Amino acid sequence: MPTIASVLPEEADAMLRRALEAHGQRFTEQRAAVYRVLRGTCEHPTADEVFTAVRGEIADISLATVYKALETLVSCSLAVKLTYGDDSARYDARTDDHYHSRCLACGVVRDVAAEATEVPHFEVGGGFRVEGYRVEVVGYCPACAGA
């Protein structure tokens, strides 16, 4: 399947429309604009950052609409919501298995250039069935580390 970055905008919208409809969701210009922002960046933006970017295209969009669009994209497996212990969340249009690094000072999240492997077998006890796991590398980005 081609990625949205490799196709014309009208083809990308058609791909998005098919994916949304396959999950019982409607295609809207707001959802399309939010998805274009996610697909157009290798950053992992917050909902507020997506909102700011989308307002350049749709001036009257609300923050609540952006949140709903992001959650719809996540529920349709078109985006991933990255959550952290401090209740912050970032969004990633890259839905394949991959790892992230997060700066402890500024919070920037980046993809790690390492291939994710199969889920290892974990024995956690209590009848818990492991379905997946998440690896996050934490530390300091070059700007915050003074490098």
What are the structural domain ranges in the chain?
A: 4-83, 96-145
Alpha helices, H only, 40-132: 47-55, 63-75
Q: How high is the pLDDT of residue 17?
A: 94
| CA atoms within 13 A of residue 123's CA, in its CB half-sphere | 0
Query: What is the rounded average pLDDT for all residues in the chain?
Result: 86
Answer for the pair 108, 102: CB distance below 8 angstroms, yes or no.
yes
> Top-level CATH class of 4-83?
mainly alpha
Per-residue pLDDT band at 3 (split at 50, 70, 90): very low
Region 26-45 average pLDDT: 93
In angstroms, the CA 110 to CA 98 distance is 11
Region 64-70 average pLDDT: 98
Region 112-127 average pLDDT: 71
Domain 96-145 has CATH 2.60.40: no
Which of these, 80, 120, 84, 78, lies nearest to 102 by C-alpha position? 84
pLDDT in tens, 6-34: 566 677 788 899 999 999 999 999 999 99
Per-residue pLDDT band at 114 (split at 50, 70, 90): confident
Same fold, 4-83 and 96-145: no
- Residues in contact with 101: Cβ distance below 8 Å, sequence separation at least 6, in sequence order: 109, 110, 112, 136, 137, 138, 139
Q: How high is the pLDDT of residue 118?
A: 58
